[in-house]
Chain A
Amino acid sequence: MNDAPALILAVARGLYYAATMLLFGDLAFSLLIHAKLPVILPPQDMRLRWSALALAMVAGSAWFLMAVAGMAGTLDVQAIIQTITATLFGEMFGLRMAALAALALVLKRGARLAVLLALLALSLPAATSHAAAASPAGFTAIGGSLDAIHLITAGFWIGGLAVLLQLHRRGEPNILLALSLFSEWAMIAVLLLVMTGLINAASILLGDTGAPSPVYLAVLATKLVLVAGMLGLAATNRFRLMPQSRDQTIARNAALELGAGVTVVLLAGVLGQLQPTL
């Protein structure tokens, strides 16, 4: 990855994931709060949701156009039509754009449907991920499913943190209840996230006969260090600060965690464009 289009593609891919993760996690955790904690009114920050939706559409389109240019060696109408009609990536692009368009129609109402549509927009790219393509013949659905779980759990973690920060900003008196609910679900999400991440990385790197690319390993290592930092912050919040009800420090840590999470997602965008082995 050493030219401008590849860099634009990597950034667009990362931004698409960041936006759809925020959307999905925000909608899913808000729905969970609504169902489990009637004393708390979910934040429903529509400006954040509309911004994330618009970013997902723009970044998704940029990702598509750069991918077309990379596949066809040129960017013209014929290459675009050929990609949409004759490639798996094109079909998935059509479906996720349709999911985002439908999400725009139900964003203000229909919370369950909105969660489902955001989940689709977030997880459909897994069908054309390294993990799916790297799976042996007949096992691409397993590789793709593992990657989809990886994306969905990361989305719940990142979007959920955004909801907690919104609750803190408005001075929600029952924020510790929300934090406790989040911890309960985030622990399962993180467990699945780490497991699927390890399996995907091993499947991509260990199965190839070539040596791992140093650049790929460096980006992967940076991603893992950041994830380890996020886990440390999450554990500190859950096991040390929550029992002491230290809201301010918890909120600061959650903001740091969210920042690290978005950086991790952007790095994942870069990883998807790098050749894993030499």
Chain B
Amino acid sequence: MKTILLAMLLAAAAAPAWAHAKLQSSDPTANSSVKSPSLIRLVFSESLEPAFSGAILSDAAGKKIPVSASVGGATITLMPLSLKPGAYKVTWHTVGHDTHRINGSFSFKVVP
């Protein structure tokens, strides 16, 4: 009984954690309206495998926008050139150290 109680205490004290690399936050945030961003930053819940993680930016017509992209730690960063006003979509894919692949997307608007 003492062992079980000890294990439960240790379990309760365990730091917050997640399984599989999920998107925790982004800048710009999903569905926001912003002025042309110089950086688009996606922060995930765990470290990523850069070889198999990335993101693309596309406009309202689905046309891919050229960006410079980098993956480091738990963050994907896109550096677009000046974006014209309109709707944009970021489509990302990640693989964490546990090898699981996750996909997702979010949209934001650029206003004048």
Residue pair A191, B3 in contact (C-beta under 8 Å): yes
Query: Using a Cβ–Cβ cut-off of 8 Å, how many residues does chain A contribute to the interface with B?
Result: 40
Q: Answer whether residue B61 sits at the interface, using C-beta atoms and an 8 A cutoff.
A: no
- Interchain nearest-CB distance for A177 vs B (Å): 27
The secondary structure that dominates the B interface is loop
- What residue of chain A has the Cβ atom nearest to residue B20's Cβ? A275
Question: What B residues does A128 contact at CB under 8 A?
Answer: 97-99
Question: What A residues does B19 contact at CB under 8 A?
Answer: 130, 133-134, 204, 208, 275-277
Q: Answer whether residue A145 sits at the interface, using C-beta atoms and an 8 A cutoff.
A: no
Q: Name the residue among B10, B11, B18, B50 with the largest chain A CB count within 10 angstroms.
A: B18
Residue pair A206, B97 in contact (C-beta under 8 Å): no
Question: What A residues does B97 contact at CB under 8 A?
Answer: 87-89, 127-128, 132-133, 140
- Could you tell me the distance between the alpha carbons of A83 and B50 in the complex, rounded to whole angstroms? 11
Which residues in chain A, 127-159, are within 8 Å of chain B measured between CB atoms? 127-130, 132-137, 139-140, 143
Q: Answer whether residue B100 sits at the interface, using C-beta atoms and an 8 A cutoff.
A: yes
Q: Name the residue among B8, B49, B74 with the largest chain A CB count within 10 angstroms.
A: B49
Q: Answer whether residue B28 sits at the interface, using C-beta atoms and an 8 A cutoff.
A: no
Given contacts A82-B52, A133-B98, A275-B100, 6 further A-B contacts (CB under 8 A): A195-B3, A195-B6, A198-B11, A202-B11, A208-B17, A276-B19
Interface residues in chain B, defined as those with a beta carbon under 8 Å from any beta carbon in chain A: 3-4, 6-8, 10-12, 14-21, 46-47, 49-52, 73-74, 95-101
User: Can you offer 7 A-B residue contacts whose CB atoms are under 8 A?
Assistant: A71-B95, A71-B101, A129-B98, A195-B3, A199-B7, A206-B11, A207-B15
The 9 closest A-B pairs by CB, nearest first: A202-B11, A207-B17, A133-B98, A86-B51, A207-B16, A134-B17, A203-B14, A198-B7, A195-B7
